[in-house]
Structure 1
Amino acid sequence: MSIDLTRRRFLIGSSVAATGLLTGCDALVQSTTVNDILQRAESLTMGAQRLLMGHQPLAREFSEADLSPVFKPNGTSEPGSEEYAQLRETNFADWKLVVNGMVQRPLELSLADLKAMPSRTQITRHDCVEGWSAIGKWTGVPLGLILEKAGLAPGARYAVFYCADELEQTLDGSGKYYESIDLVDAWHPQTILAYAMNGKELEVAHGAPLRLRVERQLGYKHAKYVMRIELTDSFRGIWGGKGGFWEDRGYEWYAGI
């Protein structure tokens, strides 16, 4: 039994499960009590995993025989913005990944630039907060290599991923989808920016042209349609200030599994 599952059962219990927070991405949390419990649970999860699973342990990897015949897309299946539509028309030839914020050398990297960098391929299980799992094969650039290329400024603590996905505009108009991880997970060897899935170019439904894979966390942390990475020392002033779209609506920031 995973540390995360044990923690959820012990701290959250049936009363939190009854809120529906962890059963679907459209359930928003209104209860202060529930939020307090989740925040305490999140701290325990991250602390326990970092203490008991130190030295950058790997998430389990599988063989090609284990690949799921169907890998359900999570979240948005296609961004609706004109900007994204134009990029898609040219097969993302004009797309560039922007890396800025608390860095010494801001970057703009094309897909060709990323594919020219050392890559990693891994077959891992994607666990969605909605209750389903699937195994896929991902190829991409280790995020740590990009951060090394940019050079972190003193005080940088988090990598924030801004996406072409405009899901939240249909809910409350707060801006484009975003997620974040800390630098411990950013430098984990299995944290990659994937441009291929199951040996093929990443499909739109799965986050083309680039998505984050942070294999030790739940699926909503795996940001799709990544356009920009900002290095920062805090989440203050970034929409709800919790470090992610779903986190701003009550989900845990650290979604370790």
Structure 2
Amino acid sequence: MSQFNRRGWIKGAGAGLAGLWLAACDKLNENPAALGVLRGAEGLTRRAQRLVTDRKALAREFPPAAISADFKPNGSVDPDDPAYRAHLANGFADWRLVIDGLVERPLALSLAELRAQPSRTQITRHDCVEGWSSIGKWTGARLGPLLDQAGLKPNARYIVFHCADSLEQTLDGSGQYYESIDLIDAYHPQSILAYAMNDRPLPVAHGAPVRLRVERQLGYKHAKYVMRLEAVEDFAHIGRGKGGFWEDRGYEWYAGI
């Protein structure tokens, strides 16, 4: 199936099934056998896609004329986290992107330092699991060179993106948004930490000061309000252990398109 047709199929299926899937999440979470089957199928899907596609194959890129006039923001649009509000109030002058975990050289980069890193600009389509899509122009620091600067340790397998927004208020902190990708996607040429959208600083509604763009996956993987990158061997110590806020609530960890 071509990339274009696969994206179209996912969008159509997502629009029809999103409500059923969300309604079923709680029931699935109560059924370990069902979750095991889903995780097995997800793994097969991921492996099958990577057998038939180049690991560095690019998502489709578009001309400037295709940029959407109205790009709907997904997820949180204005985090109320006190630390984030303080950063926003002073124009992110004191904000630092922390890169730690299983790395040899932990980093803490200012926004100016991040903008000075090797960068990439791309015009791509954002496909939401809810069934809508928009095209935007993104500029940001390439993720691979940042990880090389930090020096991943041999047992690092995933990169976790810790964010400033919370979608639920929970006693255990599991309502804090986070996402993760493996090293194949982390080193993909189009994986960037975007600080600009459509040639302007990234708006708050779209994740300022930086958001992840991982163009071969669905929208919920594109973490916004990124504060910290953590290199890990597994997810057991984070959230509910499934690799992401929505994954902890029943979504697939791998959302490739």
Q: Which residue matches 1:70?
A: 70
Query: 2-side partners of 1:67 and 1:185: how far apart?
Result: 24
Q: Which residue matches 1:20?
A: 20
Amino acid at match of 2:79: P
Establish whether residue 133 from structure 1 lines up as the match of residue 111 from structure 2.
Answer: no
Query: 2-side partners of 1:119 and 1:18: how far apart?
Result: 35
Establish whether residue 45 from structure 1 lines up as the match of residue 42 from structure 2.
Answer: no
Counterparts in 2 of 1:55 and 1:84: CA distance versus 1, 3 Å: closer
Q: Which residue matches 1:95?
A: 95
Query: 1-side partners of 2:193 and 2:224: how far apart?
Result: 10
More off after superposition, 159-168 vs 37-46: 37-46
| Pairs aligned (count) | 249
Counterparts in 2 of 1:104 and 1:204: CA distance versus 1, 3 Å: same
What TM-score comes out, normalization by structure 1 length?
A: 0.89
SS in 2 for 1:136: strand
Counterparts in 2 of 1:131 and 1:78: CA distance versus 1, 3 Å: same
Query: 2-side partners of 1:120 and 1:88: how far apart?
Result: 25
Could you list the structure 1 runs, at least 4 aligned residues long, displaced by more than 4 angstroms after superposition. Answer: 1-6, 170-173
Amino acid at match of 1:174: S
Q: CA deviation at 1:212?
A: 0.2
Query: 1-side partners of 2:43 and 2:81: how far apart?
Result: 36
Q: Which residue matches 2:214?
A: 214
**Please, what is the CA RMSD of the aligned residues?**
2.5
Amino acid at match of 1:148: D
Query: 1-side partners of 2:106 and 2:180: how far apart?
Result: 18
Q: Which residue matches 2:114?
A: 114
Q: Which residue matches 2:158?
A: 158
Query: 1-side partners of 2:170 and 2:24: how far apart?
Result: 14
SS in 2 for 1:20: helix
Q: Which residue matches 1:85?
A: 85
Q: CA deviation at 1:55?
A: 3.8
Counterparts in 2 of 1:204 and 1:61: CA distance versus 1, 3 Å: same
Query: 1-side partners of 2:142 and 2:246: how far apart?
Result: 25
Q: Deviations over 1:44-63 (max 9, x none)?
A: 22111111102410000001
Q: CA deviation at 1:223?
A: 0.2
Amino acid at match of 2:180: S
Query: 1-side partners of 2:38 and 2:93: how far apart?
Result: 42
SS in 2 for 1:164: strand
Q: CA deviation at 1:19?
A: 6.2
Q: CA deviation at 1:2?
A: 5.1
Q: CA deviation at 1:39?
A: 1.9
Amino acid at match of 2:41: A
CA contact (8 A) 1:99 1:150 kept: yes
Q: Deviations over 1:131-177 (max 9, x none)?
A: 10000000001100100010011110000000001113269852421
Q: CA deviation at 1:37?
A: 4.5
Query: 2-side partners of 1:129 and 1:109: how far apart?
Result: 32
Q: CA deviation at 1:17?
A: 3.5
For structure 2, the residue ranges without an aligned partner over 5 or more in a row are none
What TM-score comes out, normalization by structure 2 length?
A: 0.89
CA contact (8 A) 2:141 2:193 kept: yes
Q: Deviations over 1:195-214 (max 9, x none)?
A: 00000000000000000000
Q: Which residue matches 1:192?
A: 192
Percent identity, please: 62
CA contact (8 A) 2:72 2:134 kept: yes
Q: CA deviation at 1:93?
A: 0.7
CA contact (8 A) 1:242 1:253 kept: yes
Counterparts in 2 of 1:3 and 1:69: CA distance versus 1, 3 Å: closer
Query: 1-side partners of 2:175 and 2:60: how far apart?
Result: 35
Q: Which residue matches 2:245?
A: 245
Q: Which residue matches 1:60?
A: 60
